[in-house]
Amino acid sequence: MATFAYRIIVVLNNYSLFWAQVAWYVGTIGFILYFAHRYQISEKRASLIKKLSLDKKIIEAGNLDNTEKQAVGYIFTTLTSSKEKWNYIFIFVISVIALVWGVYLDFF
């Protein structure tokens, strides 16, 4: 929804400034909610992997060949230490700043 709202702004700018602003607010609030949610999911996955020692257990699993163990180990390692969480935080923070700035410019 947020992505659609941002894309439709290009069209709405030709017809109504009001609806273009509504679309911008919908898109910005949508991104705030989406990236906060994605961050929570990322944190929960990493927490489960660490809490249950799944990364170590999968490497010790006897029914996987070495390539499969390395692949799953890589996936678990990147889930717990990747930069995706920082990306979510960055987009969330920038979206909040944009929302606050937009409200200030539009209403004050």
Q: Please tell me the predicted confidence (pLDDT) of residue 88.
A: 92
- In sequence order, what are the residues at sequence separation of 6 or more whose Cβ sits closer than 8 angstroms to the Cβ of residue 38? 88
pLDDT the model gives residue 37:
95
Indicate the number of domains in the chain.
Answer: 1
Measured in degrees and rounded to the nearest 5, phi and psi for residue 15 equal: -120, -40
Cβ(55)–Cβ(49) below 8 Å: yes
For residue 37, give its domain range.
2-107
Find, among 33, 80, 37, the residue nearest to 55 by Cα: 80
- Are 28 and 95 in contact by the 8 Å Cβ rule? The answer is yes
pLDDT in tens, 40-91: 998 998 899 889 888 788 777 778 888 888 888 888 878 877 788 889 999 9
Tokens of 32: 């705030």
Tens-digit pLDDT profile for residues 4-33 = 999 999 999 999 999 999 999 999 999 999
- Distance of alpha carbon 61 from alpha carbon 40, whole angstroms: 29
pLDDT of residue 1: 93
* Integer CA distances (angstroms), 5 to 8, 41, 57, 102, in order: 5, 24, 44, 15
Question: The pTM is what?
Answer: 0.79
